[in-house]
Amino acid sequence: MNILIFGPPGAGKGTQSVKLVKQHGMSHISTGDLFRNSIANKTSLGLEAKKYMDKGELVPDPVVIGIVEESFEKLKGQGFILDGFPRTVPQAESLEAMLKNHGLTIDQAVFLDVNHSLLLKRLTGRRVCKSCGSVFHVYYQPPQNEGTCDKCGGSLYQREDDKEEVITVRLKAYEKSTNPLREYYQLNKKLVVVNGDGSTEEVFEQIEKILQT
Ligand code: AMP
């Protein structure tokens, strides 16, 4: 099964992808993680992406498509999950072409639908481990010791783009550029809408049901 997960920022794409990878051993590409790794490694691509990410804007399509192309080999041979890519219709069209070149297809495009006020609460409370990247939440999944990762003891931080002023820009970018993907995948008969308002486990159960059909 090859799937992609899309939706507004804070919908739980990353959380659900990690659970799917754990459950099914699928390959996983998260463009957000790829950019954050490039930033941590201070590559020129990372520095370029950071300019947009810190402001809450989308990274330009050619940069995103380039980084996905580089990771494409990873997707061969087993099921995969694309998390946060595509985020625009031109990216979706490029993805079609890349998949075709590699003899691959997407089976389902899972849209995580989440109520607006819940998105704000999820995003502002998110905390990430500087060392291992594990994700916590001040309300929903607080670490045992405030500010410290339960898994590796690393310190937790708030992503620059999870600060309130930046979130507003991200949500606008989502409305303008990513929301049209719903229609794109509906026309392609790949769209599956999942209510993402529930707990991590509830949403995961719904996704699992879909994958089994
Ligand atoms: P995420 O971790 O998926 O929330 O992504 C964090 C940020 O990385 C986004 O707000 C964008 O600035 C950038 N980004 C990640 N994926 C994409 C994409 N497919 N297209 C454009 N920008 C992206």
Q: What is the pLDDT of residues 124-134, one digit of tens each?
A: 999 999 999 89
Question: Tokens 């061969």 label which residue?
Answer: 76
Distance CA 171, CA 178 (A): 10
DSSP letter at 60 equals P
User: What band does 189 get if pLDDT is binned at 50, 70 and 90?
Assistant: very high
Mean pLDDT of 57-72: 92
Tokens encoding 205: 């159960």
By DSSP bridging, strand 108-113 and strand 2-6 are parallel
Positions annotated as catalytic residues are: 13, 87, 126, 159, 170
Distance CA 195, CA 33 (A): 24
pLDDT digits (tens, 9 = 90+) for 41-59: 999 999 999 999 999 999 9
CB of 185 closer than 8 Å to CB of 82:
no
CB of 57 closer than 8 Å to CB of 31:
no
CB of 5 closer than 8 Å to CB of 196:
no
Distance CA 79, CA 192 (A): 18
User: What band does 74 get if pLDDT is binned at 50, 70 and 90?
Assistant: confident
- Considering the chain, what percentage of its residues have pLDDT values greater than 90? 85
Distance CA 45, CA 208 (A): 35
Mean pLDDT of 101-111: 93
Question: Which pLDDT does position 102 carry in this prediction?
Answer: 87
Give the closest residue to 138 by CA, choosing from 153, 124, 150, 125: 125
Distance CA 192, CA 213 (A): 12
pTM beyond 0.85, yes or no: yes
CB of 37 closer than 8 Å to CB of 64:
no
Distance CA 5, CA 40 (A): 25
Please choose from 30, 37, 38, 53 the residue to mutate so as to test ligand 1's pocket, defined by most ligand atoms within 8 A of CB. 53
* Sequence-separated (6 or more) residues with CB below 8 Å from residue 172: none
**What residues line ligand 1, using a CB cutoff of 6 Å?**
9, 31-32, 35, 52-53, 57-59, 64, 84-87, 91, 161, 170
Tokens encoding 81: 């999950």
Q: How many A from CA of 90 to the centre of ligand 1?
A: 15
Question: Which pLDDT does position 77 carry in this prediction?
Answer: 67
- Report the nearest atom of ligand 1 relative to the CA of 87: 19
By DSSP bridging, strand 126-129 and strand 135-137 are antiparallel
